[in-house]
A and B are shown apart, each in its own frame.
Chain A
Amino acid sequence: MTILQILIVAAAALFWGLVMRERGRKHFLLNASVLVIFWLQPALPLRGFDFWIPLATLTITVFSWFITAAEESRREKKNWGVIAILAGTVLLLNLTRFLPFDSILTPSRPPQPLTLLLILAFSGFIFLLVTRLTRFSAALLATGIIGLIVIFLAIKIPALAYWISYGIRSLTDQSLTEAKAIDLRWLGFSYVAFRIIHTLRDRQMGRLPAVDLAEYVTYVIFFPAFTAGPIDRIERFIKDLRKPSTLGNDELLIASQRFMLGLFKKFVVADALALIALNDTNALQVRSTGWLWILLYAYAFQIYFDFSGYTDIAIGISKFLGIQLPENFSAPYLKPNLTQFWNNWHMTLTQWFRAYFFNPVTRWLRSWNTPWPAPVMIALTQIATMLLIGFWHGVTWNFALWGLWHGVGLFIHNRWSDMAKVRAGEWATTPFRKFFLNMSGVVITFNFVALGWIFFALSSTSTSMQVFLKLFEMR
Chain B
Amino acid sequence: MKTINIILKGFLLFIIVNVVFAILQPRVGNFSAYNVIFPGRERLPFGENSAKAYNLSLFDLDAMFASHEINGDNKQADEFRVILIGDSSVWGTLLKPEETLAGQLNSADFSVCAKSIRVYNLGYPTISLTKDVLLLSHAMKYQPDLIIWLTTLEAFPLEKQTASPLVANNQETLLRLATRYGLKVDANDPAFIRDSFWDSTIIGKQRALADVLRLQLYGVMWAATGIDQTYPTDYQKAQTDLEADQKFHKFEPPVMDENLLALNVLEAGMNMAGDIAVLIVNEPMLISTGINSDIRYNFFYPRWAYDQYRSMMSELSLKNNWTYTDLWDAVPASEFTNSAIHLTPAGEAFLAEKIKPIIEGICK
Interface residues of A (CB under 8 A from B): 249-250, 252-253, 256, 272, 275-276, 281-282, 285-288, 291-292, 294-295, 298
Check: B224 CB closer than 8 A to any chain A CB: yes
Say yes or no: A275-B224 contact (C-beta < 8 A), given A249-B1, A249-B2, A253-B3: no
Q: Name the A residues within 8 Å of B52 (CB-CB).
A: 281
Q: Please name 14 pairs of A and B residues whose Cβ atoms are closer than 8 Å in the assembled complex, sorted by A.
A: A249-B1, A249-B4, A250-B2, A272-B213, A275-B218, A276-B217, A282-B221, A285-B224, A285-B227, A287-B225, A292-B224, A294-B224, A295-B220, A295-B224
Q: In the complex, A38→B88 CA distance in Å?
A: 46
Q: Name the B residues within 8 Å of A272 (CB-CB).
A: 213-214, 217
Q: In the complex, A249→B51 CA distance in Å?
A: 43
What distance in Å separates the Cβ of A179 from its nearest Cβ neighbour in chain B?
24
Check: B226 CB closer than 8 A to any chain A CB: yes
Q: Are B226 and A275 in contact (CB under 8 A)?
A: no
What distance in Å separates the Cβ of A52 from its nearest Cβ neighbour in chain B?
32
Q: Which chain B residue shows the least CB distance to A251?
A: B3
Q: Name the B residues within 8 Å of A252 (CB-CB).
A: 3
Q: Name the B residues within 8 Å of A295 (CB-CB).
A: 220, 224
Check: B255 CB closer than 8 A to any chain A CB: no
Q: Name the B residues within 8 Å of A276 (CB-CB).
A: 217-218, 220-221, 224
Q: Name the B residues within 8 Å of A298 (CB-CB).
A: 220
As a 0/1 sequence over residues 37 to 52 of chain B, the CB contacts with chain A under 8 angstroms (1 = contact) are: 0000000000000111
Check: B223 CB closer than 8 A to any chain A CB: yes
Check: B6 CB closer than 8 A to any chain A CB: yes
Interface residues of B (CB under 8 A from A): 1-4, 6, 50-52, 213-214, 217-218, 220-221, 223-227
Q: Are A253 and B2 in contact (CB under 8 A)?
A: yes
Q: Name the B residues within 8 Å of A282 (CB-CB).
A: 221, 224-225
Q: Name the A residues within 8 Å of B225 (CB-CB).
A: 282, 285-287, 291
Q: Are B213 and A294 in contact (CB under 8 A)?
A: no
What distance in Å separates the Cβ of B243 from its nearest Cβ neighbour in chain A?
35
Say yes or no: A249-B217 contact (C-beta < 8 A), given A286-B224, A288-B224, A291-B223: no
Q: Are B217 and A287 in contact (CB under 8 A)?
A: no
Q: In the complex, A272→B209 CA distance in Å?
A: 13
Q: Name the A residues within 8 Å of B3 (CB-CB).
A: 249-250, 252-253, 256
Say yes or no: A275-B217 contact (C-beta < 8 A), given A281-B52, A286-B224, A288-B224: yes
Q: Which chain A residue shows the least CB distance to B217?
A: A275
Q: Name the B residues within 8 Å of A291 (CB-CB).
A: 220, 223-225
Q: Which chain B residue shows the least CB distance to A279?
A: B51
Q: Name the B residues within 8 Å of A285 (CB-CB).
A: 224-225, 227
Say yes or no: A294-B220 contact (C-beta < 8 A), given A275-B214, A282-B225, A287-B225: yes
Known pairs A282-B225, A291-B220, A295-B224; list 17 more (Cβ under 8 Å): A249-B4, A250-B2, A250-B3, A253-B2, A253-B6, A275-B214, A275-B217, A275-B218, A276-B224, A281-B52, A285-B227, A286-B225, A287-B226, A288-B224, A291-B224, A292-B224, A298-B220
Q: Name the A residues within 8 Å of B4 (CB-CB).
A: 249
What distance in Å separates the Cβ of B233 from its nearest Cβ neighbour in chain A?
15
Q: Which chain A residue shows the least CB distance to B51?
A: A275
Q: Name the A residues within 8 Å of B213 (CB-CB).
A: 272
Q: In the complex, A286→B227 CA distance in Å?
A: 9
Q: In the complex, A450→B126 CA distance in Å?
A: 42
Q: Name the A residues within 8 Å of B51 (CB-CB).
A: 275
Q: Which chain B residue shows the least CB distance to A260?
A: B10
Cross-chain contact of B224 among A249, A250, A256, A287 (Cβ < 8 A): A287
Q: In the complex, A294→B219 CA distance in Å?
A: 12
Q: Which chain A residue shows the least CB distance to B3?
A: A249
Q: Name the A residues within 8 Å of B50 (CB-CB).
A: 275
Q: In the complex, A77→B220 CA distance in Å?
A: 62
Q: Name the A residues within 8 Å of B226 (CB-CB).
A: 287
Q: Name the A residues within 8 Å of B2 (CB-CB).
A: 249-250, 253
What distance in Å separates the Cβ of B57 from its nearest Cβ neighbour in chain A?
15
Q: In the complex, A233→B90 CA distance in Å?
A: 63
Q: In the complex, A249→B225 CA distance in Å?
A: 51
Q: Name the B residues within 8 Å of A256 (CB-CB).
A: 3
Q: Name the B residues within 8 Å of A288 (CB-CB).
A: 224
Q: In the complex, A294→B226 CA distance in Å?
A: 15
Q: In the complex, A282→B221 CA distance in Å?
A: 8
Top 4 nearest A-B pairs by Cβ distance? A291-B224, A285-B225, A249-B3, A276-B220
Q: In the complex, A286→B220 CA distance in Å?
A: 10
Q: In the complex, A429→B218 CA distance in Å?
A: 46
Q: In the complex, A281→B52 CA distance in Å?
A: 8
Q: In the complex, A276→B50 CA distance in Å?
A: 11
What distance in Å separates the Cβ of A48 from its nearest Cβ neighbour in chain B?
31
Q: Are A275 and B221 in contact (CB under 8 A)?
A: yes
Q: In the complex, A287→B222 CA distance in Å?
A: 10
Q: In the complex, A288→B225 CA distance in Å?
A: 8
Q: Name the B residues within 8 Å of A292 (CB-CB).
A: 224
Q: In the complex, A298→B217 CA distance in Å?
A: 11
Q: In the complex, A254→B108 CA distance in Å?
A: 64
Q: In the complex, A286→B52 CA distance in Å?
A: 13
Q: In the complex, A288→B221 CA distance in Å?
A: 11
What distance in Å separates the Cβ of B5 from its nearest Cβ neighbour in chain A?
10
Q: Name the A residues within 8 Å of B214 (CB-CB).
A: 272, 275
Q: Name the B residues within 8 Å of A250 (CB-CB).
A: 2-3
Q: In the complex, A425→B43 CA distance in Å?
A: 57
Q: In the complex, A294→B6 CA distance in Å?
A: 38
Q: Name the A residues within 8 Å of B223 (CB-CB).
A: 291
Q: Which chain B residue shows the least CB distance to A285?
A: B225
Q: In the complex, A249→B2 CA distance in Å?
A: 7
Q: In the complex, A156→B220 CA distance in Å?
A: 34
Q: In the complex, A250→B52 CA distance in Å?
A: 46
Q: In the complex, A249→B3 CA distance in Å?
A: 6
What distance in Å separates the Cβ of A11 from its nearest Cβ neighbour in chain B?
15
Q: Name the B residues within 8 Å of A249 (CB-CB).
A: 1-4
Q: Name the A residues within 8 Å of B221 (CB-CB).
A: 275-276, 282
Q: Name the B residues within 8 Å of A253 (CB-CB).
A: 2-3, 6
Q: In the complex, A137→B62 CA distance in Å?
A: 72
Q: In the complex, A250→B224 CA distance in Å?
A: 47
What distance in Å separates the Cβ of A170 from its nearest Cβ neighbour in chain B?
31
Q: In the complex, A294→B220 CA distance in Å?
A: 9
What distance in Å separates the Cβ of B270 from its nearest Cβ neighbour in chain A?
41
Q: Which chain B residue shows the least CB distance to A292?
A: B224
Q: Name the A residues within 8 Å of B227 (CB-CB).
A: 285
Q: In the complex, A59→B51 CA distance in Å?
A: 39
